[in-house]
Amino acid sequence: QKEVEQNSGPLSVPEGAIASLNCTYSDRGSQSFFWYRQYSGKSPELIMFIYSNGDKEDGRFTAQLNKASQYVSLLIRDSQPSDSATYLCAVNHEGTGGFKTIFGAGTRLFVKA
């Protein structure tokens, strides 16, 4: 089982729709969760982080965390063609084994104009 799992996509949505991106993780002790956007040929850009169960909203983006079910999701409202990119989920864990950040392989999103 992969430590951080994402559907590779591509996820295709029409302009103006809600895009829903999901991520599951295996380490129940994981503490903080991140969504990055990566355009082709560019480096990852932080969109949001979340560390408490529930929803966190920032503009058109909402992150949702459910630690009991070990999943985190990202909703993009009013999707725009400029949102077309690969979205990376990342999970931080700190403990007696040290610090680690595990990235998922990413979900490619395509927003059709």
Partner 1 sequence: ETGVTQTPRHLVMGMTNKKSLKCEQHLGHNAMYWYKQSAKKPLELMFVYSLEERVENNSVPSRFSPECPNSSHLFLHLHTLQPEDSALYLCASSQALTSGSVHEQYFGPGTRLTVT
What residue ranges bind partner 1 (CB under 8 A)?
Answer: 4, 32, 34, 36, 42-46, 49, 51, 88, 90, 92, 94, 98-106
Query: Measured on CA atoms in the order 34, 45, 40, 20, is the torsion positive or negative?
Result: positive
- State in angstroms the smallest separation of the CB of 62 from partner 1: 17
- State in angstroms the smallest separation of the CB of 44 from partner 1: 5
> Whose Cβ is closer to partner 1: residue 80's or residue 101's?
101
- State in angstroms the smallest separation of the CB of 100 from partner 1: 7
Structural Rg of the chain based on CA atoms: 14
- State in angstroms the smallest separation of the CB of 92 from partner 1: 6
> Whose Cβ is closer to partner 1: residue 14's or residue 95's?
95
> Whose Cβ is closer to partner 1: residue 34's or residue 84's?
34
Place of tokens 């992969």: 2
Phi and psi at residue 106, to the nearest 5°: 95, 150
Place of tokens 């990852």: 44
Show the CA angle centred on residue 102, arms to residues 20 and 46, nearest 5°.
Answer: 55
